[in-house]
């Protein structure tokens, strides 16, 4: 029993790492613009396909040592795509009703998904692994080097983001714009620069998550971003959307809920509910958190001035 629980905890950390990386993109954009970037999930998919294309072009498909190079280039390319999405689809709609940017986000999600389909094809793509192979036995639980790599990469990126936001001049500018963009502009901060920066970092992290996800499961499809994106969105809400620590906490908690629920529900229900119902746990959490604690576990600290200013978005 102890080995089984440990095994599921390891699986939960792996899945939660990917959810947390994607959730950071949602929470960063919402923290500044009070906008749900529905195109973010499709940029996650685009990252996986771009990484696959780069690996083929550079001749390093399936080589773990080439994964770092592919990840860095994909981060930059998808980050630039995220900035382009903000300039084209969101920036012209600032100051309008909340509905217009949301519809624009949904439209961009459809556009990106269909672009990936036209370029990558409709059929699932066999994905080469950029993660090291091999396993170790940990008190009866099997831990793969792939799982360790995913967790380590995710933690490094999340810690790096937290340090960037709280310890650098650019991070201070982002937090100032998130607090009140109008006041920030009066002291010489360019809100457009700060907003473009979060649209660069968030999709970049999502692209890395796309590579890690596809490398781990060995497949990529042009529709995979929808369900994974909804789960990451749920993680952001669970932890407290707008909060970077909340997104990380929500990602790992959702990974644990989904993993342990999938493992134990067939046993508790006598097989009536099988593993094919794993998605029900994430979306049940979404409904419950919206009903009973819409601010999330860590909540969101928003000043009254910010609340009034952001109400026009």
- Per domain, the residue ranges of the chain are 2-225
Distance CA 176, CA 266 (A): 49
45 CB neighbour count, 10 Å cutoff: 29
pTM surpassing 0.95? no
**Coil, helix or strand for 128?**
coil
Q: Which residue has the higher pLDDT, 179 or 272?
A: 179
Pairing outcome for strands 125-126 and 219-220: antiparallel
Scanning the structure block, which residue is given the tokens 């994905």?
127
For 92, which DSSP code? G
Which one, of 41, 2, 78, lies nearest residue 236 by Cα? 41
Q: Where are the alpha helices (DSSP H) in 180-296?
A: 181-186, 191-217, 224-239, 244-268, 279-292
For 124, which DSSP code? P
Beta-bridged to residue 144, according to DSSP, are 135
Residues 6+ apart with CB under 8 A from 169: none
Q: Which residue has the higher pLDDT, 267 or 115?
A: 115
pLDDT digits (tens, 9 = 90+) for 226-270: 999 999 999 999 999 888 999 999 999 999 999 988 887 766 666
Which one, of 33, 182, 188, lies nearest residue 96 by Cα? 33
The predicted pLDDT at position 266 comes to 67
């Amino acid at each position: 029993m102890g080995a089984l629980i440990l095994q599921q905890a390891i699986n939960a950390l792996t899945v939660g790492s990917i959810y947390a990386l994607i959730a950071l993109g949602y929470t960063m954009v919402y923290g500044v613009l009070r906008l749900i970037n529905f195109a973010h999930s499709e940029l996650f998919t685009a990252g996986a396909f771009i990484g696959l294309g780069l690996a083929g072009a550079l001749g390093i498909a399936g080589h773990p040592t080439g994964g770092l190079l592919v990840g860095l280039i994909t981060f930059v390319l998808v980050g630039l795509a995220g900035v382009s999405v903000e300039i084209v689809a969101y920036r012209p709609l600032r100051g309008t009703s909340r509905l217009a940017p949301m519809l624009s986000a949904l439209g961009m999600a459809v556009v990106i998904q269909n672009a990936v389909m036209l370029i990558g094809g409709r059929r699932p793509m066999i994905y080469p692994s950029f993660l090291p192979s091999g396993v170790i036995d940990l008190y009866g639980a099997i831990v793969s080097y792939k799982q360790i790599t995913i967790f380590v990469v995710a933690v490094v990126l999340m810690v790096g983001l937290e340090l960037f936001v709280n310890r650098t001049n650019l991070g201070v500018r982002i937090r100032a714009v998130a607090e009140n963009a109008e006041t920030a502009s009066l002291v010489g901060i360019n809100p457009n620069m700060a907003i473009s920066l979060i649209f660069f970092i968030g999709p970049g992290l999502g692209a890395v998550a796309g590579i890690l996800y596809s490398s781990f499961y060995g497949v990529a499809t042009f529709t995979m971003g929808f369900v994974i994106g909804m789960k990451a969105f749920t993680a952001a809400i669970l932890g407290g959307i707008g909060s970077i620590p909340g997104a990380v906490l929500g990602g790992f908690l959702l990974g644990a809920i989904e993993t342990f629920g999938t493992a134990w529900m067939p046993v508790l229900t006598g097989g009536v509910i099988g593993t094919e119902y794993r998605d029900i746990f994430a979306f049940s959490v979404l409904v419950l958190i919206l009903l009973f604690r819409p601010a999330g576990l860590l909540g969101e600290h928003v000043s009254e001035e910010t609340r009034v200013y952001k109400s026009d978005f």
